[in-house]
Amino acid sequence: MEDLKEAKHWIGGEWSTAGTKRESINPATGEVLKTFEPLTKSEALKFVDKAHEAFGKWRHTSFKARKAILIKFAALLKNRTDELAELITLEMGKRISESRAEITFCAQIVEFYANGAGEFLSDHPLEVEGADAYIQYTPIGVLVGVMPWNFPFYQVVRFIAPNMMAGNTTLVRHSSIVPQCAEKIGTLLQECGLPEGVFTNLRIPHEFMEPLIAHKHVRGVSLTGSEAAGSSVAALAGKNLKPTVLELGGNDPIIVLEDADLEMTIEMAIKGRMTNTGQSCVASKRLIVVEKVAGAFLAGLKKGMESMKLGDPMSPDTDVGPLSSESAAQKLDEQVQKTVKAGATVVLGGGRPDRKGAYFNPTILTNVTPAMPSYDQELFGPVATVYVVKDEDEAVRLANDSSYGLGGSVYTSDPKRARAVAESVDTGMMFVNQPTYSQAELPFGGIKRSGYGR
């Protein structure tokens, strides 16, 4: 599911726990901030039993009582925004302003579901001749969430808030590189008076997922992560007849038409590509521009990206922080170098800076062809790939030529044209004149190898 330093070894029918400490490392400096002991397999499975026991009571807890706890949780997020944002920045390198925005958004999500659950989950009457019938929404039990590091609070909150209000209990296996964030979420919920077992943070390696998913009390799994992780979890869940929701990788296109407001479009393209140092499944990764405006667009994109300052993610003056880890920076560098070696053109950047930390220079690549490694790979970092096409039809064809289908956007001054193009792109979400983004009220998810479910 992910490369873990604490990988276990199968010894005599039991999992070894030797050398399995989980480290919290500052990617800007390489400093080890804190270490955590992982759970054993038996400890992890006991938490499933506790979650199932808690479900017996939580499912009968009123919406009003559940809401009161979640509203307290939202208040804590608001009141401790700076503290929590600093923790995000220290553990995975997100710029401090973006970390604050993440915590603020989390509070909004919690309030949205806390306030709306009663209405969302109310009985739905059906018109049936000769009978009274209705659909009733009931909780299903213990759910497992496998969460990524790139939005360490948001991803968890997006999973637990609606499920808590629905009456389910949750077990979260968070990414190994953000253990402090994972622990903090649990601590905050305890402070709100959440009953034990309704939420549990599981510090376990990916090898433990098989017995966890197979546990008779686990009723479903939600995962946000890589294709490999999704495929693995979906196979385990299918084998055990457990439903899944998967939000996987993305190679989101933006389509720039000749009637677009270029100044605004360039600004949005940079925002869409560089937010969170480009480490987002819905980042604007493939920039598809009609040839009539391609020269001006590329010049503006280069000017904007080359002016961005790399630096300490805690500093308000920094435009580009580090990637989440040294291994992430190395992987991105390998992808870029292979693509350049295969014939791609480097317009800007193209490698790592000579400085300490997991940094990568803002990069623009052109002349990328289907034969090159990165054509249909997800570049998880500050690398924009620009494609020049003849017209709108070719832009749509290129946008659809991907195994991914998470998000995308189209830039044009014509609303009717925008809608027509948006509906022609084979992806889960399309936006007009702005990058793909998330909002509490909007369903979120993809198709093809980007996953399924919302």
The predicted-structure confidence for 210-246, as pLDDT tens digits, reads as follows 999 999 999 999 999 999 999 999 999 999 999 999 9
**Confidence (pLDDT) at 205:** 87
**Confidence (pLDDT) at 159:** 97
Tell me the three state secondary structure of residue 189.
Answer: helix
**Confidence (pLDDT) at 17:** 38
CB 381 within 8 A of CB 323: yes
**Confidence (pLDDT) at 161:** 98
Helix axis angle for 81-92 and 96-120, nearest 10°, is 120
Q: What is the pLDDT of residues 42-73, one digit of tens each?
A: 999 999 999 999 999 999 999 999 999 999 99
Q: What is the mean pLDDT of the chain?
A: 94
Grade residue 78 by pLDDT with cuts at 50, 70 and 90: very high
The DSSP output letter for 283 is: S
CB 103 within 8 A of CB 85: yes
* Helix, strand, coil percentages in the chain from 3-state DSSP, rounded to 5: 40, 20, 40
Residues with catalytic annotation? 247, 281
Q: What is the dihedral of CA 5, 11, 17, 19, to 10 degrees?
A: -40
Grade residue 424 by pLDDT with cuts at 50, 70 and 90: very high
Q: What is the pLDDT of residues 166-175, one digit of tens each?
A: 999 999 999 9
Tell me the three state secondary structure of residue 352.
Answer: coil
Grade residue 14 by pLDDT with cuts at 50, 70 and 90: very low
Answer yes or no: is pLDDT of 12 > 60: no
The DSSP output letter for 308 is: P
pTM of the model: 0.93
Answer yes or no: is pLDDT of 117 > 90: yes
CB 77 within 8 A of CB 188: yes
